[in-house]
A and B are shown apart, each in its own frame.
Chain A
């Protein structure tokens, strides 16, 4: 069993209205000093068997094909210990 986490974020140059809404709400709740908020998605994948290079390459393919839209989003893949 292996656990792989894929984080998906809008590219820095893409406007993130949800992040802006959260950013706007924080001072109203008394939380000061936050200069920016970007909101993203986190996927936790459980994989059976051993996690070799080939399997990891598959996860990258999954991320680029379905989990993220590379036109507007970046993703990172990391293996959880």
Chain B
């Protein structure tokens, strides 16, 4: 399986994401923001960082990068797409996922090993986990507060589209402690914490994040 990882100007975690893909047993494919096609990959990861310097709004400029036209098209045809941190912001700006991410409630950049609870396992990126399973993965963001109107939040909860929730103190003011959400099909997932930084014992808090990358290999959608 070939998994593309997009590099935008200002992406930081593209190399870590490609490494996580490789450790999970897939072949990472580097994609560039100016590419007009996805080189035939089977899935795409939009990595963390500060694409285009976070100018205007986080993810707002990246949304209009040439490669995103191809990503939005492919997502519409059911290709798995995982957006991590800045990638989550890009997915929201692209309207592939509802809501938006705004500045952290307490205005401080959050950087910690964060406990999460996996709430939806019937997605392309979380099928390797069990519902209710708790993970510890790094979280690092300045604008990670997930917001949406009450009707959208109720719909996300009612349809079981909340993929992961923060456990313990809310690190960034995300409404209903939402750390990640998915589309209805479970193919598109946005996540504020960084599973790609928790794939090896040597670095980071453990290997709890690897499941996101092994899940997509199974290609099993409930």
Q: Which residues of A contact B (CB under 8 A)?
A: 10, 13-15, 17-18, 20-21, 66-67, 69, 71-72
Q: Which of A18, A67, A69 contacts B93 (CB 8 A)?
A: A69
List 15 additional contacts besides A17-B104, A17-B105, A71-B98; criterion CB under 8 Å.
Answer: A10-B102, A14-B102, A14-B147, A15-B102, A15-B145, A15-B147, A15-B173, A17-B102, A17-B103, A17-B107, A18-B103, A18-B107, A21-B107, A69-B60, A71-B92
B98 to chain A, nearest CB (A): 8
Cβ of B148 within 8 Å of any chain A Cβ, yes or no, is yes
Q: What is the CA–CA distance of A34 and B93 in the complex, to the nearest angstrom?
A: 33
Q: What is the CA–CA distance of A17 and B147 in the complex, to the nearest angstrom?
A: 13
Q: What is the CA–CA distance of A17 and B109 in the complex, to the nearest angstrom?
A: 12
11 A-B residue pairings within 8 Å (CB atoms): A14-B102, A14-B147, A15-B145, A17-B107, A18-B103, A21-B107, A66-B64, A69-B60, A71-B92, A72-B100, A72-B102
In contact, A15 and B107 (Cβ under 8 angstroms) = no
- Which residues on the A side are within 8 Å of B206 (C-beta)? none
- Which residues on the A side are within 8 Å of B155 (C-beta)? none
Q: Which residues of B contact A (CB under 8 A)?
A: 56-57, 60, 64, 92-93, 98-100, 102-107, 145, 147-149, 173
With A14-B147, A15-B145 as contacts: A69 and B100 at CB distance below 8 Å: yes
- Which residues on the B side are within 8 Å of A13 (C-beta)? 149
- Which residues on the A side are within 8 Å of B100 (C-beta)? 69, 71-72
Q: What is the CA–CA distance of A67 and B106 in the complex, to the nearest angstrom?
A: 25
- Which residues on the B side are within 8 Å of A20 (C-beta)? 107
- Which residues on the A side are within 8 Å of B57 (C-beta)? 69
- Which residues on the B side are within 8 Å of A10 (C-beta)? 102
B156 to chain A, nearest CB (A): 13
In contact, B148 and A15 (Cβ under 8 angstroms) = no
In contact, B99 and A71 (Cβ under 8 angstroms) = yes
- Which residues on the A side are within 8 Å of B104 (C-beta)? 17
In contact, B173 and A71 (Cβ under 8 angstroms) = no
Q: What is the CA–CA distance of A2 and B147 in the complex, to the nearest angstrom?
A: 36
Q: What is the CA–CA distance of A14 and B143 in the complex, to the nearest angstrom?
A: 13
Q: What is the CA–CA distance of A15 and B57 in the complex, to the nearest angstrom?
A: 16
Q: What is the CA–CA distance of A67 and B56 in the complex, to the nearest angstrom?
A: 7
Which of B99, B102, B104, B145 has most A Cβ within 10 Å? B102
- Which residues on the B side are within 8 Å of A67 (C-beta)? 56
- Which residues on the A side are within 8 Å of B64 (C-beta)? 66
Q: What is the CA–CA distance of A39 and B65 in the complex, to the nearest angstrom?
A: 28
Q: What is the CA–CA distance of A37 and B9 in the complex, to the nearest angstrom?
A: 33
A68 to chain B, nearest CB (A): 9
B53 to chain A, nearest CB (A): 15
Which of B103, B105, B145, B148 has most A Cβ within 10 Å? B103
In contact, B102 and A66 (Cβ under 8 angstroms) = no
- Which residues on the B side are within 8 Å of A17 (C-beta)? 102-107, 173
